[in-house]
Amino acid sequence: MSTQGYEAELMSEREYVAGLYARLDAERARVKAAYRDALRGTGGTPMERDFEVRALGKEARRLDVADNGLCFGRLDAESGERSGERSGERSGARSYIGRIGLFDEGDEYEPVLLDWRAPAARPFYTATGAHPEGMRRRRQFHTRGRQVLDFSDEVFGRPDQGDRGDAALLAAVNAPRGEGMRDIVATIQAEQDEIIRLEHPGVVVIEGGPGTGKTVVALHRVAYLLYTQRERMERHGVLVVGPNPAFLNHISRVLPSLGESDVVFMTPGSLVPGLRVTAEDGPDAARLKGSLKILDVLKAAVADRQRLPEEPIPINLADVTVRIDAETAEWARDEARQSGLPHNDARAKFTEIVTYVLTERAISRIGRGWLTRDDREGWERLRKDLLKELAEDERFTAALDELWPVLTPESLLSSLYESPERLRAAGADPVLHRADGSAWTVSDVPLLDELVDLLGRDTSAEEAAAERERKKQAEFAAGVLDSLVGRQDSMDDEDHLFATDLLYAEDLAERFVEQDTRELVERAAADRDWTYRHVVVDEAQELSEMDWRVLMRRCPGRSFTVVGDLAQRRSPAGARSWDAMLQPYVPGRWVYRSLTVNYRTPAEIMAVAAGVLAEFAPDVQAPESVRACGVRPWARQVSDDDVKAAVEEFVREEAGREGTSVVIGPPDVPGAVPASETKGLEFDSVLVVDPDRILADGPRGAAELYVALTRATQRLGVLHRNPLPASLSGLR
């Protein structure tokens, strides 16, 4: 294309994209006006009005995310313009691809912008010169805000045309990193697109080395599933599980940027409502707690609290003293256990048997000489009086609490950890003993979740929390009503407030009291029994067998996207093979896909990391970097006294550059974070301090160092006090 032709075409594309933004603005205004009208509406039931308000609010949020990069490309089919046509002419065979879909206002309701997830948009990501998929040209826009800066074309079918050009991709991967992960909607590659659109109803495992984009592919897969299966999925939402809060914060913008908000983000330490646990156990304790063998310990610990009295327990009633002996308690215990109910629910059966025995014995003594079993009326009248007396007797209640106490997961597990005797009784390893039983670790969370099912619910705390929420919402609604009344009083007659506003406020107050008005994400995060339609698990190689039990409870339909890299596993209880971890739950319902291209780590840095990988995982092939950055990684030996100054020098230099940076090292290095806290994150520049100490930190130290080295997208430096490990000897 000539320079003059290019400029004319660029002007034409700018006009078209400006028209798309005008249509977006008009649609926003329409939806927001409808939203305001719905808030004031009085027609239909409260539930119908709530549904309309929520739907319009969600649509408004979807439209609000589309400002940046609304349209990022164009596809021309083979039936489009030919070489003899003028470059500025439009053709019906052209499709513009964007972040969301937009339609014209005519009777045909034709798309003027295709949603990137639509089937017709797929060739934008998959067409190549060898396989053009009916396409003649792919055009990619370079935009800033609402402005099209320039574009690049790939014309398929030419003799020298190879695979997809890398201009847009390289521009994206070379760009400085910001505060969080960016979506890749404009630069999805063919191998990524295949996984994103994979129609598999079970578990999809995506494995790839550092920088292969497995996390962002999984998130775009969620956006695709929500687009294609919205009715099935949006009422229950999607759960995304990541290794730590920093990682979740890093990825949290991706799905909202794609218009999806019904997503709950959690770490393994927050899967039980009310807990936000980050502390970790030592390797031995973590391994024990992560194994399914711990289930026998938990069951034994519950059974250990179902006690028999060492001596008969006397219960002094008004006319007689009765005793709970071991024989009575054993009968009651056997009946309660055979009921199959959770521990707290089975207490009713235990109490029923004990009460029956005590009342029978009491009646026999009290009625000796004058009451026979033939006098059923007298017998039952006396039993009724005794039942009331037992219910009010503190000693009887205390005896029940001693023999069959009401337990919470927290009280049972903390008392188990604190008592060597109880650990022995439950057949547990002494390594689980600790002085503060309630100093929870991440490995405790699946055990607490398991105990919810073993013990049954104590709903008093939940009911109290629900009552507090109802009062809070009612107070808010009352405040809305008061403010509207105040506005009514202060307005002139000619600027009056419609009566429907007051009616709505009164209706609002009533609805807040009667209904749960929280958004799906808030309701799901607070409900341990909430079930999701789909679950994404990132850094899945770190999850234990017990972690997987929790997640399978959360998703009965077994629809998962599992992301990980077995070579990066650091947890002693983590996965050593996907088959061993998943087959017990989804036999024959999981598929494996791998990503082999490294889009993040430049070749110069990956060559260094590959040396570490070869030592601890010689059978694993390092991912191939898609680019080089032209900057060689460096190493520098310093003395103990110089470490702090060297780190400060790095920080100062990076502060003057665009992008992000991080210092990774042992805890005593000033300003450093451990490698485990950087998993899944990326930075323009990385300084690794004392790699030999990272290697020496437990059996998975090599994996930790591998993670540290592969966080950088541009620059990598290494400070070392001791000689460099052999695997890093190639560094200069």
CA 592: distance to chain centroid? Answer: 21
Can you tell me the distance from the alpha carbon of 460 to that of 192, in angstroms, rounded to the nearest whole number? 48
Its domain, for residue 106, covers 3-79+91-157
23 and 47 together in one domain: yes
pTM of the model: 0.81
Assign residue 676 the CATH number of its domain.
Answer: 3.40.50.300
User: What pLDDT sits at residue 367?
Assistant: 76
118 and 7 together in one domain: yes
User: What pLDDT sits at residue 158?
Assistant: 53
Cβ neighbors of 112 (< 8 A, separation 6 or more) are 19, 20, 23, 96, 102, 103, 104
pLDDT tens string 188-239: 888 899 999 998 989 999 999 998 999 999 999 999 999 898 888 888 999 9
Annotated binding site for ATP: 208-215
512 belongs to a structural domain: yes
Q: Which amino acid is at 320?
A: V
3-state secondary structure of 265: strand
Cβ neighbors of 285 (< 8 A, separation 6 or more) are 431, 432, 441, 443
CA 80: distance to chain centroid? Answer: 44
633 and 680 together in one domain: yes
- Which of 157, 179, 205 corresponds to the end of one domain? 157
40 and 148 together in one domain: yes
180 belongs to a structural domain: no
Look up tokens 């290494």; give the residue.
718
130 and 142 together in one domain: yes
14 and 153 together in one domain: yes
163 belongs to a structural domain: no
User: Closest Cα partner for 265 from 243, 239, 290, 296?
Assistant: 239
Pairing assessment for the beta strands 590-595 and 135-144 based on DSSP bridges: unpaired
CA 395: distance to chain centroid? Answer: 48
Mean pLDDT of the chain: 86
334 belongs to a structural domain: yes
312 and 297 together in one domain: no
Burial category of 86 from C-beta neighbours within 10 Å (exposed 0-12, middle 13-18, buried 19 and up): exposed
579 and 628 together in one domain: no
What residues in the chain have per-residue pLDDT under 70?
A: 1, 42-43, 79-92, 106-107, 157-175, 177-180, 183, 369, 458-517, 698-699
Look up tokens 């319902």; give the residue.
589
- Torsion 244-250-252-258 (CA) sign: negative
Rg (CA), the chain: 33
Q: Which amino acid is at 659?
A: G
643 and 579 together in one domain: no
**Over the range 157-195, which residues count as b (16 or more CB within 10 Å of their CB) and which as e?**
eeeeeeebbeebbeeebeeebeeebbbbbbbbbebbbeb
User: What pLDDT sits at residue 127?
Assistant: 86
313 and 336 together in one domain: yes
User: Closest Cα partner for 538 from 184, 239, 201?
Assistant: 239
Cα angle at 29 between 23 and 33, to 5 degrees? 145
Q: How far is CA 429 from CA 289, 384, 416, 535, 544, in A?
A: 10, 48, 11, 33, 18
User: What pLDDT sits at residue 458?
Assistant: 62
Can you tell me the distance from the alpha carbon of 386 to that of 370, in angstroms, rounded to the nearest whole number? 17
Cβ neighbors of 183 (< 8 A, separation 6 or more) are 216, 219, 220, 254, 257, 258
Identify whether the C-beta of residue 556 lies closer than 8 Å to the C-beta of residue 527: no
166 belongs to a structural domain: no
pLDDT tens string 647-658: 999 999 999 898
User: What pLDDT sits at residue 71?
Assistant: 93
Can you tell me the distance from the alpha carbon of 711 to that of 709, in angstroms, rounded to the nearest whole number? 6
Q: How far is CA 609 from CA 131, 215, 393, 659, in A?
A: 35, 20, 71, 22
Cβ neighbors of 262 (< 8 A, separation 6 or more) are 226, 233, 234, 237, 238, 520, 521
Q: How far is CA 176 from CA 67, 241, 712, in A?
A: 21, 27, 11
User: Closest Cα partner for 122 from 172, 216, 190?
Assistant: 190
515 and 536 together in one domain: no
Cα angle at 29 between 24 and 32, to 5 degrees? 120
- Which of 403, 418, 435 corresponds to the end of one domain? 403
User: What pLDDT sits at residue 440?
Assistant: 98
Pairing assessment for the beta strands 203-208 and 238-241 based on DSSP bridges: unpaired
Can you tell me the distance from the alpha carbon of 430 to that of 444, in angstroms, rounded to the nearest whole number? 16
Structure tokens at 109: 């309701």
275 belongs to a structural domain: no
Annotated binding site: 208-215
183 belongs to a structural domain: no
Identify whether the C-beta of residue 185 lies closer than 8 Å to the C-beta of residue 541: no
Can you tell me the distance from the alpha carbon of 628 to that of 511, in angstroms, rounded to the nearest whole number? 60
175 belongs to a structural domain: no
Structure tokens at 636: 């520098």
Look up tokens 């995304």; give the residue.
240
49 and 98 together in one domain: yes
Pairing assessment for the beta strands 147-155 and 624-625 based on DSSP bridges: unpaired
Number of domains in the chain: 6
- Torsion 301-304-305-306 (CA) sign: positive
- Which of 157, 176, 204 corresponds to the end of one domain? 157
